[in-house]
Each structure stands twice: as structure tokens, then as C-alpha cells.
Amino acid sequence: MVVTDTLTTLETAYRAVYVGALVFLALMTFLCLIRAVKGPRVADRIVAVNMMGTMVMVMIAILALLLKEGYLVDICLIYAMISFLAVIVLTKVYMGVHSEKKNAKEGRQNGSF
């Protein structure tokens, strides 16, 4: 009986830690969302989106441990690939816009001479 009580107490402690980590990560994801919307520069927004993707992956992994469901780990890996591709696409788009602005600015400077 003592072993069973210890396991349930330990499982309860793990559950509390998992739920606490999920709540903390949800709060931090919300703060990153605010930074992604409000960020002063585009680079800050891209980093915030990348951080949000990383925190969501960790949240899915914690849910896999909490619910004892192995398929959630597969979903976490798929989400990691999609998040990585999203950040790469956002960076490419930003670099394209930045280079267009730079070329337009140089064109105006050269045309005014």
C-alpha cells in the first residue's frame, strides 16, 4: 500500500509541474504574440514568431508526457518542420522587401545627381 500511495503522490506532483509549465509557456507565448504584433522592427517580429513556434513545440511535448500519448510527439516533430519553414519564408520575404527598398533608395540617390 505504501508504494501505491507514493506513486500516486509522485504522479500528482508530476502533473502539477506539467500543468504549471503549460500555464507558464502559454503566458510567455501570449507575450511573444504581443511582441510579434507590436515589435519595433521586422527582425523582432521574426524572432518572436520563431520563439512562439518553439514554445508551442515544448507545450505539445509536455502534453504528450501528461496525457501519455505517443502520437503527440509525431505532431510535435511535424510542427517543428512547419515552424522552421515559416520562419525561413518570413526571412526571405523580409530580405526581398529590404533589398527592394535599398535598390529604390539608391536609384533615387543616383537619379538626383
Pairwise CA distance, residues 12 & 63, whole Å = 15
* Cβ neighbourhood burial of 110 (10 Å; 0-12, 13-18, 19+): exposed
Can you give the pLDDT at residue 66?
93
Can you give the pLDDT at residue 111?
67
Could you list the pLDDT tens digit for every one of the 113 residues in the chain? 556 667 789 999 999 999 999 999 999 999 999 999 998 998 899 999 999 999 999 999 999 999 999 999 999 999 999 999 999 998 999 888 888 888 888 888 776 55
Pairwise CA distance, residues 61 & 70, whole Å = 9
pTM metric for this prediction? 0.80
